[in-house]
Structure 1
Amino acid sequence: MKEFIDNRVILWDFDGVIVDSMAVREKGFWETLSNYPEEEVKQLIDYHKRNGGLSRYVKFRYFFENIREEEVSEKKVAELSSSFSTIMRKSLVNKEILIGEVLDFIENHQEEFKMHIVSGSDGEELRFLCDQLGISSYFKSIEGSPTPKISLVKNLLERTKYDKQKVCLIGDSINDLDAAEYNDIDFFGYNNQELKNKAGYIENFR
């Protein structure tokens, strides 16, 4: 199997790969949707766990259209997403949530690889968090939602003209795998054993 270090360009997912944020994100959904029935919010949390690479915009829309079976306006989705982002900006500016072995790898190899972040998290929030966590300088670009990850990767490859044979995406969800396959680049799973038999897999970075 091709090793991820054979690539010269690494596209990183953020949540679950660079930061251990799942519990914080879950709490954010609970707080944002506190006025809705608990059982419905539980269903959204389950959807969130299965689809870590999808944006909150998609998840809030799913909550109304698929769980509550009602129409929702773009304005309502934007309002909920903004409330969620406010909670995240307060809760995720904590260096203790950085995944140590990944951060060590990034810091020790920043001169060897061209690195970018492509995430389902809100783009503006993501850049704010990376600045606060002191990691922005390691990456050539930091991009997030509302643009879908498939499009984020596509746009990045078109913009940079990278040789796809030298690019890989490292992520922890099936949505990350889908984005890599759609754009014809290597994928390596991390921090999610369910991805182990679907593609290349990184057990650890040490």
Structure 2
Amino acid sequence: MTHPPSTVDVTLPPPPARGPIRAVVFDLDGVVVDSSAVMREAFSIAYAEVVGDGPAPFEEYNRHMGRYFPDIMRLMGLPLEMEEPFVRESYRMAHLVPLFPGVRQTLEELHGRGVRMAIATGKSGPRARSLLDTLGVLDLFDQVIGSDEVARPKPAPDIVLAALGHLDVPPEQAMMVGDAVIDLLSGRDAGVTTVATTWHGGDVAVLLAAGPDVVVHAPTDLLAYCPAALVP
């Protein structure tokens, strides 16, 4: 699914004076993969199976994007039993989920420069790794961590700190790249540079109001913050 171009200012801010950046931690949905259409369909099927007739409240679900699915169900007052059909349908339709334009090029370039990379996602770890494997980019990441693999999911910093522990990179040399406020909160509390993306088609104004350190409007913009090949 394509999204209309963002109307926000496309001028890149200067890199924060914290680097050099040696690691980039990415959120998955809305940043690396354009999964909105598949998630809407999976959510609608799960709602119909567990709750019954009527329109599935996907727009409300979408406002909680980035959180672990059971946590979203609790916040929305929906049955936790929706998780099983939602996950089932998400796996079934995984082949329909594309990478955002420019993501593969960016990941390959960062990998070639020696930048360590991880995924810190609201998805479960197995589902995230399966999707990235289907897309042929799993081997570009040093670590993929799901919300089911940390004690406290986003907006707590645990998942970002866990990623940095695996990457063996201190927070002051790392970025957290996300499309949701909870990504920024998680990254900020972990002590990393927070990067907001605008290519997901969501509410950019809300994201910018959270005060990210950096705003990027295309995946390739990240390359400006990791310009040099790094020695491990």
State TM-score, norm by structure 1: 0.83
Kept in 1: contact 2:28–2:121 (CA 8 A): yes
State the alpha-carbon separation in 2 of the partners of residues 162 and 141 from structure 1: 13
For the pair 1:167 / 2:174, whether they are aligned, the reply is: yes
Q: What residue identity is the alignment partner of 2:169?
A: Y
Asked if structure 2 preserves the Cα contact closer than 8 Å seen for 1:52 and 1:172, the reply is: no
2:217 match: 203
What is residue 102 of structure 1 aligned with on the other side? 103
Question: 1:94 touches 1:133 (CA, 8 Å); kept in 2?
Answer: no
Q: Deviations over 1:137-175 (max 9, x none)?
A: 000011112241332112233444422111001010001
For residues 54-76 of structure 1, the C-alpha deviation after alignment (integer angstroms, 9 at most, x for no partner) is: 01111122232xxx6xxx6xxxx
More helix by share: 1
Give the partner amino acid of 2:94: L
- Structure 1: gaps spanning 5 or more residues: none
Q: Which residue does the alignment assign to 2:65? A: 52
1:135 is aligned to 137
Q: Which residue of 2 aligns with 1:3?
A: 15
Q: In 2, distance between residues paired with 1:182 and 1:13?
A: 15
Per-residue CA deviations over 1:1-29 (Å, capped at 9, x if unaligned) read 55389511000111001111112112211
Shift of 1:205: 3.1
- Name the CA shift for 1:183/1:2 in 2 (closer, same or farther; >3 Å): farther
Local SS of the residue matching 1:88: helix
AA matched with 2:91: R
Q: Could you say which residue in structure 2 is the equivalent of 1:155? A: 162
The equivalent residue for 1:17 is: 31
Question: Kindly tell me: are residues 50 and 27 of structure 1, through their superposed partners in 2, closer, same or farther at Cα, counting changes over 3 Å?
Answer: same
Equivalents in 2 of 1:158, 1:19: separation in Å?
24
Gaps of 5+ in 2: 1-12, 221-232
**8 A Cα contact 1:130 1:136, kept in partner:** yes
4+ residue runs over 6 A deviation = none
CA, structure 1 residues 164+53, in 2 after alignment: closer, same or farther (shift >3 Å)? same
Letter in 1 for 2:174: V
CA distance in 2: counterparts of 1:86 and 1:2, whole angstroms: 43
Q: In the alignment, what sits opposite 1:111?
A: 112
> What is the RMSD computed on CA atoms of the aligned residues?
2.2
Q: Given that residues 143 and 167 in structure 2 are in contact (C-alpha distance below 8 angstroms), is that contact kept between their aligned partners in structure 1?
A: no
Structure 1 166/46 Cα, relative in aligned 2: closer, same or farther at 3 Å? Answer: same
Residues 173-205 of structure 1: CA deviation (Å, up to 9, x unaligned) = 001011011111111111252223421200113
What are the within-5 Å matches in structure 2 for residues 42-81 of structure 1? Answer: 42=57, 45-64=58-77, 77=80, 79-81=81-83
Instruction: Give the distance between the partners of 1:111 and 1:169, measured in 2 at CA.
Output: 19
How many correspondences in the alignment? Answer: 191
Q: Output the CA distance in 2 between the equivalents of 1:86 and 1:11.
A: 27
Q: 1:36 aligns with which of 52, 61, 85?
A: 52
Matches of 1:10 and 1:104, distance apart in 2: 15
**Partner SS, residue 95 of structure 2:** coil
